[in-house]
Structure 1
Amino acid sequence: MLTFALAVFFLMVTPGPGVLSVAGVGSGFGFRPGARYIGGLFIGTNLVALAVVTGLAALILADARVRTVLFVLSFAYLTYLAFRIALAGARIAFVEKARAPGIGDGVALQAINPKAYAVNTALFTGFPIFADAYWAEVALKFLVVNAIWLPIHFLWLWAGVSLHRLDLRPGTQRAINIGMALSMMAVVALAVLTAG
């Protein structure tokens, strides 16, 4: 069980689209919008986990065309989200501050987030705990994963909000938001390179 908990921690804490976007939303828009966004990510990641444990994800992703469509959607959506975060702190007169990503955005991101599928597949298909009680194991894993997932995401939100609260000069805030967006795009680029 300790090995499983450590695997959850290290898979969740490493930068991916979810945690990087949480920090970006916190930095660009503040705590309340960030908490709503985390709510969407939480719903989305649990839906992905449910799809993994029921076999629905394997069935859907078995078709290479579906995987390609999801990959393209993921790339496009992450690029769009990175763009919104990059512009969130900009004080440029002709660019209106974008609406903060909300619950629906979080759910949508997890639905097309390749890391969400990979992490949930690794966690729920590996690390056997109960040899003869699959559903008890799944329930326990859901509890452990969520008990670690929530604080990690709120920690990333806190980091982003802390940057926001420093009341930095507009140029500095814009540079931080652009840095967060570029980090998200680096994760996307790595996904593209490993997919090819």
Structure 2
Amino acid sequence: MFGITHFEFFVVAVFLLNVTPGPDTAYIVGRSVAQGRGAGLMSALGISAGCCVHSLACAFGLTALLAASATAFTVIKFVGAIYLVYLGVRLILVKPEGGQTTGEARSPGAPKSLRQLFMQGFWTNVLNPKVVLFFVSFFPQFVTADSSNKILAFLTLGVVFVVMSMAWNSFVAWIAGSVTRRFSGKPGVKKWLDRTVGSAFVGLGIRLATATR
């Protein structure tokens, strides 16, 4: 259909990609730990929206142009790295829930609105140049060169990718949120969960900043 080939291998590869921990997974776990299942699910939705952007860009050739530019790659790489480190530091510096008093200023880990959670998930995905390179190098392998409907082929693969990613990310959010609820009455445990996830964010940001093409 539309010149798509080896579709079954595409599905398996996407599944393996989803179950491999990365910035998206770390972000969803971090939000689920900080605010519960709902926050994790909204973050997963934001990440899926970011995947939609990559799918559209790949289908219409913008991703290939971006991947071919060393300057654009470097800019996106450092912006994405700074953003991940910023999120990580906020989690590390979060104050225990019991440590706030009436009238105290909001801490770096104060609960975020659904819109904030969605947008943070969105930018975490969009600003990851590795995702850009994945789309431009991976998707074309499953579309025949003589396809007369390349745009529809890429869009179809993009839909499959987004649906599978959303399903897995929602599962991750549910599990992480469940763990958080078990420790909701133990602020000391939650504090160390926040710091662990935050440290992972900082590590991923540093890894992204030092990554090469």
- Per-residue deviation, 1:130: 8.3
Per the alignment, do residues 126 and 181 of structure 1 end up closer, same or farther by CA in structure 2, a change over 3 Å counting? farther
One-letter identity of the residue aligned with 1:117: V
What TM-score, normalized by structure 1, do the two folds share? 0.86
Does residue 143 (structure 1) correspond to residue 159 (structure 2)? The answer is yes
Q: How many residues align?
A: 196
- Which ranges of structure 2 fall in alignment gaps of 5 or more residues? 1-6
One-letter identity of the residue aligned with 1:134: K
Per the alignment, do residues 130 and 32 of structure 1 end up closer, same or farther by CA in structure 2, a change over 3 Å counting? farther
- Which ranges of structure 1 fall in alignment gaps of 5 or more residues? none
- Per-residue deviation, 1:58: 2.5
- Per-residue deviation, 1:168: 4.9
Contact 1:21–1:82 (Cα < 8 Å) also in 2: no
Q: 1:9-39: per-residue Cα shift (whole Å, max 9, x none)? A: 1112211111110011011111222222222
- Per-residue deviation, 1:120: 2.1
Q: Distance in 1 between matches of 2:136 and 2:25?
A: 18
Task: Report what 1:163 is aligned to.
Answer: 179
Q: Distance in 1 between matches of 2:8 and 2:48?
A: 23
Task: Report what 2:190 is aligned to.
Answer: 173
Does residue 185 (structure 1) correspond to residue 191 (structure 2)? The answer is no
Residue range with higher mean Cα deviation, 151-160 or 85-94: 85-94
Residue range with higher mean Cα deviation, 1-10 or 127-136: 127-136
Aligned-CA RMSD value: 2.4
Task: Report what 1:122 is aligned to.
Answer: 137
Q: 1:77-106: per-residue Cα shift (whole Å, max 9, x none)? A: 111112233345734447724242422212
2:23 to 17, 23, 27: 17
Q: Which has the higher helix share?
A: 1
Q: Distance in 2 between matches of 1:109 and 1:124?
A: 21
Task: Report what 1:3 is aligned to.
Answer: 9
Task: Report what 1:62 is aligned to.
Answer: 68
Contact 1:11–1:119 (Cα < 8 Å) also in 2: no
Does residue 90 (structure 1) correspond to residue 102 (structure 2)? The answer is no
- Per-residue deviation, 1:157: 0.6
One-letter identity of the residue aligned with 1:149: S
Q: Distance in 2 between matches of 1:122 and 1:13?
A: 19
Per the alignment, do residues 115 and 64 of structure 1 end up closer, same or farther by CA in structure 2, a change over 3 Å counting? closer
What TM-score, normalized by structure 2, do the two folds share? 0.80
1:109 to 124, 139, 151: 124
One-letter identity of the residue aligned with 1:164: T
Percentage identity across paired residues of the two chains = 22
Q: Distance in 2 between matches of 1:131 and 1:179?
A: 49
One-letter identity of the residue aligned with 1:111: V
- 1:44-59 aligned at under 5 Å gives the runs 44-59=50-65
- Per-residue deviation, 1:161: 0.3
- Per-residue deviation, 1:158: 1.3
Contact 1:23–1:158 (Cα < 8 Å) also in 2: no
- Per-residue deviation, 1:145: 0.9
Per the alignment, do residues 87 and 161 of structure 1 end up closer, same or farther by CA in structure 2, a change over 3 Å counting? farther
Per the alignment, do residues 140 and 175 of structure 1 end up closer, same or farther by CA in structure 2, a change over 3 Å counting? same
